Structure 1
Amino acid sequence: MISSTAIIYPNVILGENCTIEDFVIIGVVPTGYDGEPLETVIGDNAVIRSHTVIYAGNTIGNNFQTGNKANIRELNLIGHNVSIGTLTVVEHHTAIGSGVRIHSQSFIPEFTIIENGAWIGPNVVLTNSKYPNSPGAKESLTNVCVREGAVVGANVTILPGVVVGEKALIGAGSVVVKHVPDRAVVVGNPAKAVKSIDELPYRA
Structure 2
Amino acid sequence: MEIDISATAVIHPGVVFRGSARVEDGCIIGAPIAGYDEQPETVIGDGAVLRSHTVIYAGNLIGENFSTGNKANIRELNTIGNNVSIGTMAVVEHHVLMGDNVRLHSQSFVPEYCELEDGVWIGPNAVLTNTKYPLSPEAKAEPLPVKLGKGAIVGANATILPGVTVGTDSLIGAGSVVVKDVAPHSVVAGNPAVFISKKDELPYG
TM-score (norm. length: structure 1): 0.97
CA distance in 1, matches of 2:30, 2:201: 46
Letter in 1 for 2:60: N
Q: What's the offset of the Cα at 1:35? A: 4.0
The Cα shift of 1:163 comes to 0.3
> 1:58 maps to what in 2?
60
1:101 maps to 103
Percent identity of paired positions between Structure 1 and Structure 2? 61
2:25 to 15, 22, 25: 22
Alignment correspondent of 2:124: 122
* Aligned positions of 1:64-79 closer than 5 A: 64-79=66-81
Distance 2:203 2:120 in 1: 20
Question: What is the aligned length?
Answer: 202
Q: Give the corresponding residue for 1:176.
A: 178
Which residue of the partner structure matches residue 10 of structure 2? Answer: 7
Distance across 2 between alignment mates of 1:181 and 1:63:
31
Q: Which residue of the partner structure matches residue 45 of structure 2?
A: 43
CA distance in 2, matches of 1:83, 1:61: 11
* Residue matched to 2:137: 135
Measured after TM superposition, the shift of residue 192 of structure 1 is 0.4
Task: Give the letter aligned to residue 26 of structure 1.
Answer: I
Q: Tell me, in whole angstroms, the C-alpha distance in 2 between the residues paired with 1:165 and 1:136.
A: 27
Q: Displaced runs of 4+ in structure 1, greater than 3 A? A: none
**1:136 Cα shift?**
2.0
The alpha carbon displacement at 1:29 in A equals 1.0
Q: C-alpha deviations, 1:18-76, integer Å up to 9, x for none?
A: 1000010000112x322443100000010000000000000000000000000000000
Q: For residue 200 of structure 1, report the CA deviation from its aligned partner.
A: 0.9
1:16 shift after superposition? 1.8
Matches of 1:99 and 1:150, distance apart in 2: 12
Calculate the aligned-residue CA RMSD, in Å. Answer: 1.0
Instruction: Give the drift of 1:201.
Output: 2.3
Distance in 1, matches of 2:37 and 2:157, equals: 38
The one of 150, 160, 163 equivalent to 2:162 is: 160
SS of 2:5's equivalent?
coil
Secondary structure at the aligned position of 1:140 is classed as: coil
AA of the residue aligned to 2:160:
I
TM-score, scaled relative to structure 2: 0.96
What residue in structure 1 maps to residue 198 of structure 2?
Answer: 196
